[in-house]
Structure 1
């Protein structure tokens, strides 16, 4: 499994959309057919102008939007979108803040390139433990530790990273823990290091 870091790594590329003029019943049919809870609403120029969700449709069903009969009249605006190169963590925060289940993904020019769901963002936690361990070892060996300055062992079990070994400075333990937390798929980190004996 490749390193999963950005929205582009986990998003769904095939996107079902509607336009402003799509009738209410067609929106419902589309959601049911594709088993999705929200649809991007597109302009004639191919830009996302809003999102219509099951919640928007329920407002209509309750009579709160009695004159709204099309996607353009029911959609939520402005559309909350995320760029394809956004980090997975930032997309997750955006979803959590807005209580959103899905986000349209746009390119640098604003054109729709995919959609990302909560389930997509959770894919990072399916990374094999050996992939997480390998990435972390590479980070430690190639970027952080001068040769011979420390001995760091990395073990990963069910996404939990266990670090141990010998380090020259106890404060380095906190640095290593913070770095381990940046690796996609890491659930938690434990560290038990011995201080290097003075020469």
Structure 2
């Protein structure tokens, strides 16, 4: 096991990530978020590269403009997505969330393909368990 100060994103990230394609609709994003009880969904291209991200706030902000029409997610997604690698120190990833006031970081591989995600909820869980004195390393397993 790695010493606590050397732990990386890989130790805490989720690898079973729900994704969307640019042509998917806002309604589809809303449904996925509700079913999976999540707040962020990466948008990927055909090769699995991250091309955007959509949050529950993005969906809520545009829900009133739907009027029964399917609107593609690409029209509301954030295109400049901050990402990390699995080897990024976990403390650095947490600092990125704080510095940029964002709720998650998609984790990408060497070719830019999505391999996982780490969220502010993951870090809150880490903090809560650390306060209780519990070792919280997951070894990249899904929770």
User: What is aligned with 1:74?
Assistant: 76
What is the CA distance between 1:23 and its match in structure 2?
1.1
For residue 14 of structure 1, the aligned residue among 13, 16, 34 is 16
The answer as to 2:42 corresponding to 1:34 is no
Question: Matched residues in 2 for 1:46 and 1:22: separation?
Answer: 15
Unmatched segments (≥5 aa) in structure 2? 138-143
Unmatched segments (≥5 aa) in structure 1? 132-183, 185-199
Structure of greater relative contact order (alpha carbons < 8 Å, 6+ residues apart): 2
What is the CA distance between 1:130 and its match in structure 2?
9.3
Aligned ranges 1:1-199 → 2 under 5 Å: 3-4=3-4, 5-63=7-65, 69-122=71-124, 123=126, 126=129
Is residue 68–residue 74 contact of structure 1 (8 Å, CA) maintained in 2?
no
Question: Matched residues in 1 for 2:62 and 2:10: separation?
Answer: 34
Q: TM-score, normalised by structure 2?
A: 0.78
Deviations 1:128-164 (A, max 9, x none): 8597xxxxxxxxxxxxxxxxxxxxxxxxxxxxxxxxx
Question: Matched residues in 1 for 2:23 and 2:3: separation?
Answer: 40
Q: How many equivalent pairs are there?
A: 129
| 3-state SS, counterpart of residue 8 of structure 1 | helix
Question: Matched residues in 2 for 1:87 and 1:43: separation?
Answer: 27
Q: TM-score, normalised by structure 1?
A: 0.58
Higher Cα Rg, which structure: 1
Is residue 104–residue 119 contact of structure 2 (8 Å, CA) maintained in 1?
yes
Question: Matched residues in 2 for 1:130 and 1:112: separation?
Answer: 29
What is the CA distance between 1:103 and its match in structure 2?
1.4
Question: Matched residues in 2 for 1:130 and 1:81: separation?
Answer: 28
What is the CA distance between 1:22 and its match in structure 2?
0.6
- The answer to which structure has the higher strand fraction is 1
Is residue 106–residue 114 contact of structure 2 (8 Å, CA) maintained in 1?
yes
What is the CA distance between 1:56 and its match in structure 2?
1.2
Question: Matched residues in 2 for 1:16 and 1:89: separation?
Answer: 24
- Taking a change above 3 Å as real, the CA distance of residues 58 and 106 of structure 1, as seen in their structure-2 partners, is same
